[in-house]
Structure 1
């Protein structure tokens, strides 16, 4: 059972407020609340963002099940990542709500990617860079590209450069780009 009505009432919102925010009709909101129609994945994400919760929580899954943080300890990181992957695998096997399957699969794939990059970066980067890298917000495209570079022996210097540049603040990146332009 989803939590749309519960969240709406808790935040003192009307069906009309939510309908306007999501560009759907009040009848659509009513149907979703009463589970008379299926919420498409993009609208589920918009609703979750609107209420400030995860899609999994919005759709009625136990909130503790989907909490995850990136522990700094390697052993704990690996253990926690596997715990969440196992939870997602179980949910994918049991859940008949196909509309959340893409989000679950994407989360699972992201965790596997983060674990792979972490294992590789531990081998190829110094400890300070590796530590700073994992305090950085997780950007899936960045990690895909970093993973790709780390797999190629002749691109490891590019991988380190990418990792170090990703940690710079906006002003430093802007300054470096200006310097590069002047060098041309």
Structure 2
């Protein structure tokens, strides 16, 4: 999608990111880490759906869908949707390095993170044809550079990819830290 296409769209989508993992993980810790990440970034966090499918011969399948929203300014807000699907889940008991036992989950997990920057989320600019033309002018000439260089970058690098790195860290898939840690900012 070219930056010119953003001018007439009510949403500016970030590039979706995915994680696939097979092994032992702590689902409760993962859930709490995702919720805490969004709380720290001042998002409102909602659990939209949790569906347990009928357990098959290999284990349970659970679908989790989360949505996080943050009104950044009067004109735009960030929406991040996280979908987690677990397959072949079994509860197991793991002995940690310090000798204590902990219940964890063994199975496969698939995670999708989708981010959107929604403009005019209160639909103020859609009340009349004049306001719609004014919105088009505003998007085309006044905030176009903010679309391309500020809002989208903040959503993609400071939210979506940092969440991606944090999840990989919690699943012990990557080293601690993010490749985007050098990007300064207060968020």
TM-score tier by shorter-chain length is under 0.3
Structure whose alpha-carbon radius of gyration is higher: 1
TM-score by length of 1: 0.24
Higher relative contact order (CA 8 A, sep 6+): 2
Which has a greater percent of strand?
A: 2
Task: Report the TM-score, using the length of structure 2 for normalisation.
Answer: 0.24
